[in-house]
Amino acid sequence: MKRMMKIMLLLIGVCVLLLSAPTVSAVSLSVSPNLQQVFSGSLVDLSCVDDGQTADGWTVKRTRGGFTEDCGAAPGFGRLLGSYCVVDLSAPSETFWCEDSSGQQSDRVSFSVQSDPTAVIMEIPALPVRTGSDVILRCRQRNGATVAAYFFIKGSSVGHKPEHIITNITQADEGLYSCSTNQGGKSPQSSLRVRGTGTKNRNV
């Protein structure tokens, strides 16, 4: 009987712990440079931050080919430089996020890796953008030069121009974006993610 009581108390304790755990993590993945499309072999710095500070106890992770790996613990994934995980982006489909030892996770970020050096990439943020902010889309060649291009928003062209500026972002601006040059260079399609108003004051 006493043993039962002990087990009951233990179970109640576990439930209280589970209920008091935050359901949504405030920790986010920081991405520098904050660009979703890159040419193959580009380096990106990833880190886990909480209100602009390095989040202790959080690890940058990735999935690749169905496997989950920790930064610094897998061959070819990250050289730890202080609190940064420096990643050499060359695989087409990798997803990155932050996770702590209890399994809490941040939002996920993935990149479009352009391996054709004659193609172009479009500058678009890798991280969700806050409502009310502005985003400038540019089409860029492998040599770093920007080029005038047709910009496509959700499948429709918004004209041929040096850049496309989206002002005062709202949820309605979410969708697929790409650019395409007169010379035939096409960028991948990337989705712009908009962070809802409920959390827009975080990590300002």
Ligand X SMILES: *[C@@H]1O[C@H](CO)[C@@H](O)[C@H](O)[C@H]1NC(C)=O
For 20: left if phi > 0, alpha if psi spans -120 to 50, otherwise beta; the answer is alpha
Choice between 21 and 172, CB closer to ligand X: 172
Shortest Å distance, C-beta 157 to ligand X: 24
Helix (H) or strand (E) holding 122: strand 120-123
Site for ligand X, residues 94 to 123, rule: CB under 6 A: none
Instruction: Please identify which residue in the block is written with the tokens 């886990």.
Output: 48
Using CB under 6 A as the binding rule, whether residue 168 contacts ligand X is answered as yes
Nearer to ligand X, 8 or 165 (CB): 165
Q: If binding means CB under 6 A, how many residues of this protein chain bind ligand X?
A: 3
Q: CB of 73: closest distance to ligand X in angstroms?
A: 44
Q: DSSP secondary structure string, 11-64?
A: HHHHHHHHHHS-SS---EEEEES--SEEETTEEEEEEEEETTEE-TTEEEEEEE
Between residues 93 and 170, which has the closer beta carbon with respect to ligand X?
Answer: 170
Cα distance between residue 182 and residue 147, in whole Å: 10
**From the CB of 170, what's the least distance to ligand X, in Å?**
6
Q: Which residues of the shown chain bind ligand X in the complex (CB under 6 A)? A: 132, 168, 170
